[in-house]
Amino acid sequence: MSRFNVVSTAVLVAAAAFVFPLLGTGQHQAARAQAVAEVDMLGTQFIPQDITITAGTVVTFVNEEDQPGGTGAVHNVINLADGTSIVPGLLSPGDSFSVEFDDPGVVSYYCSIHPTMVGSITVQ
Ligand SMILES: [Cu+2]
């Protein structure tokens, strides 16, 4: 079974639209919303290269190679430990994909097209 749960962007947007109008300004209830993090692909690097998140956080990988400093390259995200794809297929410039990480541990990954392009996610 996959260690990752795929969460579609549409669901996240819908959830955010539902949750945030309920929160008054100055209230500290944001923890009720799902924790999110972002890893960008830019200049043939994962940025930030290493992140630490809490279990249940949704990480969105964004190919920013269409932005200034970008190379126009497509990338993938492969788990170094077992060779499985964390993000299905290739992400073209402008594309993104969100994955929920539920199991504590360190997930090291790389792009098999650009093997020097590496990163890690520490799930606490
Ligand atoms: Cu790549």
| Tens-digit pLDDT profile for residues 45-79 | 999 999 999 999 999 999 999 999 999 999 999 99
13 against 5, higher pLDDT: 5
At 33 the pLDDT is 78
111 against 12, higher pLDDT: 111
Report which of 109, 99, 93 is spatially closest to residue 41, judged by C-alpha positions: 93
At 7 the pLDDT is 54
Q: Residue 63 CA to chain centroid, in angstroms? A: 10
How many angstroms separate the CA atoms of 24 and 46, rounded? 35
How many angstroms separate the CA atoms of 30 and 53, rounded? 16
For the chain, give the mean pLDDT: 84
| pTM given for the model | 0.75
C-alpha of residue 94 to centroid of ligand 1, in Å: 14
C-alpha of residue 120 to centroid of ligand 1, in Å: 15
**In this prediction, what percent of the chain has a pLDDT beyond 90?**
73
Residue type, 31: A
In the chain, where do the E strands start and end? 4-6, 36-41, 46-47, 50-53, 57-63, 75-79, 85-91, 96-101, 105-110, 118-123
33 against 55, higher pLDDT: 55
**In this prediction, what percent of the chain has a pLDDT beyond 70?**
74
Report which of 99, 100, 108, 103 is spatially closest to residue 124, judged by C-alpha positions: 103
Question: What residues are neighbours of ligand 1 (ion), with CB under 5 Å?
Answer: 75, 111, 113-114, 117
Contact 35, 53 (CB under 8 A): yes
At 3 the pLDDT is 54
C-alpha of residue 59 to centroid of ligand 1, in Å: 18
C-alpha of residue 36 to centroid of ligand 1, in Å: 23
